[in-house]
Chains A and B, each alone.
Chain A
């Protein structure tokens, strides 16, 4: 297991390195550099040149990359072009805010979706199954920002029960109770989107297992239905669910730009869009890397969890069952 983990980590570092080269190249290939956005057109071409030179933007892209990666390896994410603010100052708060929002929605939807899916698998096409199906279609079909606007109109404006947007009231910055009030609407919107998928996954994954021979054997030897479902079937059904969760983990930091925009949530999705328009290379690179790290971590976690839920999966011995 340890050997396997080390190998995976080394691979991950290589992958991240390649991702950084690729994104750096793509971002720099986009026409209209940062000087076009924040300097021109109010600026004379000569002054723009001076600024580009002062910022090191007139150097060849590979040289700029080496400088950037050099700083990165020493923990320096770089500075914004437009106002020389350390990228970390902008980035980390938004990462935190996005995790608060997305994790709340994610965990809430999992708590509801997995038991519900399991329950529905044992009572196919019952009332509960139809209800969850209906909600799933709703969740899939409804654009999240539109649903968000409806909720805002109803609960924030007409009924005046909940805050309209932001993380805190202006005079209650940092207050946890206030934060929870502000979370209600965006979390509702986001969880509905997650819920739709997860109920379906857990239901179908359970159904597949419940039709297996060993489940029939378990029933045949007279085990109680509850034991059959929760001890024998569930453990196996969890494997595909874990895969999905591992793949979805990056959502936690990637954020949801549209929902963040509608609820004015100061998160990373919103930051990414803003910074892409402004061609702030360092910020974009840092966001891409944070998300890439999450992708790698998510996959790794999923692999480790396989071994935990399924004793048949063992890494590092006999060539490894999964890679």
Chain B
């Protein structure tokens, strides 16, 4: 079972909301097309073609990147936040990396020498390591490190957030210092993505008891963090900045051009954007939507605006006890379809996301190989059709104009996390859209930690507005839609049951051939878009701002919005002018 991550971004938009009034009147961005094609990125081309700087890559310089939250720990076993993930991507070599199309790849900076060899039983993976890979303290990186990393994550006493990604492993065997063999308990197609993982140094951590690993200084104290990537971690001033510098002893054939990278932490997104405009920082990972126009006006700044690996949805609760009248009004498929028709999703993409999004009709990212495309039903905004469907389903207007059926008034609470300005706006649109067809929505913003604890994890809510971050590119989503995964242990928090889909998700996991697998997900996409456990709203992106006069890359190394951490894609090849 693979766990997914809810996106809160509650802090990210907390203060941005204050300033919206001053920044309206922005024209929606025309490029709503998804990210697979490079042209989907915004207006000016974000990438500097090599010809633009005939001198070619230059060595040296300091790149300053702004971030909205401080790192927590860069110990790969415990990473669970974006800032730490960024640092991890820069200072640790991964076993495998991802190419631009989210395929597993053995890049020059990956630890593996070649793609894993999969045995005929589809359960045995053999991984060959590069013989020259070294830790920053000079020790070789071997198969023992790989085995140690996997075994540590799999150990329940450790409490690693990645444990569920590796629970299909049966045994890990070190064949020789450069060869590891992994045997799975069963055929599990999403497994290769579990190999997209940073490796930790066995020689440093092997004597630390499992329960004390989280408290260990490795990953928290730069002096005690042995690294394996192109840069090494040199400084962390908590709440202010962390710094990495080129490792002169880096083992890789390909060396980085940039000498030093500083991550500056900003508590306020407005200040963060101004720092980009003033030149205090050269790159910002998420510009608030309201500020995009201001940034674009400045000549040297590029905004890379494309949908990323995350989507938002409205989830229905099917369990009667979560409603005041002890009846879920969402149990009929027709009613759910009516709600989908009633929502102006394109309007949300155009007006709230300023075009930095794409409609979603299934849980698979548009243009990914699992995307069912036209096979999934696209519920275009059609309030009349919604009304007709609701009437067919037996809903009749009551005294106050709100629909009623069997004495139940169609009114429900829509929960979201307070402080997220995007969700605040979208919930207001949902309220208005559904009011137009006779359904009363009561939007309610709740503090993120409280909400997840009291409502989302235990599955106690009428309906929620939330997002999924798909940091793992595999389309498998059994653990959020299958009836095997009810709360609190599972993430099917709306108590949705569809036996046919349950079986298809399992089939998807057990089919290794990609073409055959894609067919299964297309079928799931079609069926789920008809049955609607969620109303899938849109895929959205975090606009990346870059000072193009300073930060340079060749076309093939440009950032890739569709990947998690794609804003650092191939940064080893970037250079500074």
Residues of A within 8 A of B (CB): 30-33, 36-48, 50-51, 54, 79, 82-85, 89-90, 93-94, 145, 149, 152-153, 156-157, 160, 164-166, 170, 260-264, 266, 270-271, 274, 277, 279
Contact = CB atoms under 8 A, between A and B. Distances in A.
Contacts of A38: 72, 80-81
Interface in B475-515: 488-489, 491
Interface string B419-454: 000000000000000000000000000011111111
B278 A164 contact: yes
Interface string B229-249: 000000000111100000000
A38 B70 CA distance: 13
B271 A152 contact: yes
A264 B267 CA distance: 6
Contacts of A271: 239
Contacts of A39: 80, 159, 161
Contact of B277 (A83, A157, A166): A157
A90 B240 CA distance: 11
A29 to B, nearest CB: 11
A54 B211 contact: yes
Contacts of B491: 41
B323 interface: no
B157 A50 contact: yes
Given A41-B6, A85-B238, A32 B268 contact: no
B241 A43 contact: no
A33 B3 CA distance: 20
A40 B271 contact: no
B518 to A, nearest CB: 27
A81 B156 CA distance: 18
B452 A47 contact: no
Given A41-B452, A42-B5, A170-B262, A85 B239 contact: no
A84 B5 contact: no
B157 to A, nearest CB: 6
A44 B163 contact: yes
Contact of A264 (B5, B271, B447): B271
Given A39-B159, A44-B164, A170-B64, A31 B3 contact: no
Name, among A30, A42, A266, the residue most crowded by chain B CB atoms within 10 Å (CB to CB): A42
Given A30-B450, A39-B80, A83-B73, A164 B275 contact: yes
A44 B3 contact: yes
B304 to A, nearest CB: 22
Main secondary structure of the interface of A (DSSP, over half): helix
B454 A32 contact: yes
B220 interface: yes
A42 B80 contact: yes
Given A39-B80, A41-B491, A261-B268, A32 B241 contact: no
B450 A32 contact: yes
Contacts of A160: 278
B80 A266 contact: no
Name, among B214, B216, B451, the residue most crowded by chain A CB atoms within 10 Å (CB to CB): B214
Given A31-B449, A47-B160, A277-B449, 12 more contacts: A30-B450, A31-B454, A40-B452, A42-B5, A43-B80, A47-B156, A47-B163, A84-B216, A264-B266, A266-B239, A270-B267, A279-B449
16 contacts: A38-B81, A42-B80, A43-B163, A45-B488, A51-B159, A83-B219, A84-B214, A90-B239, A94-B239, A156-B274, A157-B277, A164-B271, A166-B240, A263-B271, A264-B267, A277-B11
B290 to A, nearest CB: 13
A78 to B, nearest CB: 12
Contacts of B266: 165, 264
B453 A31 contact: yes
B15 interface: yes
B214 A164 contact: no
B268 A262 contact: yes
Contacts of A43: 3, 80, 159, 161, 163
Contacts of A153: 274
B3 A157 contact: no
B270 interface: yes
Interface in B252-281: 262, 264-268, 270-271, 274-275, 277-278, 280
B55 interface: no
B457 interface: yes
Range for the number of chain B residues in contact with chain A: 35 or more
A83 B161 contact: no
A82 B262 CA distance: 22
B215 interface: yes
Nearest to A169: B280
A157 B239 contact: no
Nearest to B62: A170
A157 B72 contact: no
A46 B220 contact: no
Name, among A149, A170, A270, the residue most crowded by chain B CB atoms within 10 Å (CB to CB): A170
Contacts of A51: 159, 214
B8 to A, nearest CB: 9
Contacts of B219: 83
A157 B278 CA distance: 6
Given A39-B80, A165-B280, A261 B271 contact: yes
Nearest to A33: B453
Contact of A32 (B19, B271, B453, B488): B453
Given A37-B449, A43-B3, A164 B274 contact: yes
Contacts of B159: 39, 43, 47-48, 50-51, 54
Contact of A83 (B10, B72, B262): B72
A271 B449 CA distance: 18
A54 B214 contact: yes
A36 B449 contact: yes
Name, among A79, A149, A157, the residue most crowded by chain B CB atoms within 10 Å (CB to CB): A149
Contacts of A260: 267
B454 A42 contact: no
Nearest to B212: A54
A89 B238 contact: yes
A33 B448 CA distance: 11
Contacts of B274: 152-153, 156-157, 164-165
A85 B6 CA distance: 26
A45 B279 CA distance: 44
Contacts of A164: 271, 274-275, 278, 280
Contacts of A165: 266, 271, 274-275, 280
Contacts of B452: 32, 36, 40-41
A158 to B, nearest CB: 10
Nearest to B211: A54
A120 B184 CA distance: 84
B220 to A, nearest CB: 5
A79 to B, nearest CB: 8
A157 B270 CA distance: 13
Q: Which 4 A-B pairs have the closest CB atoms?
A: A32-B449, A32-B453, A51-B159, A84-B215
Nearest to A273: B267
Nearest to A165: B271
A146 to B, nearest CB: 9
Contact of B5 (A31, A41, A79): A41
A71 B70 CA distance: 27
Contacts of A83: 72-73, 219-220
A167 to B, nearest CB: 8
Interface in B70-109: 70, 72-73, 80-81
A282 to B, nearest CB: 14
A320 B34 CA distance: 77
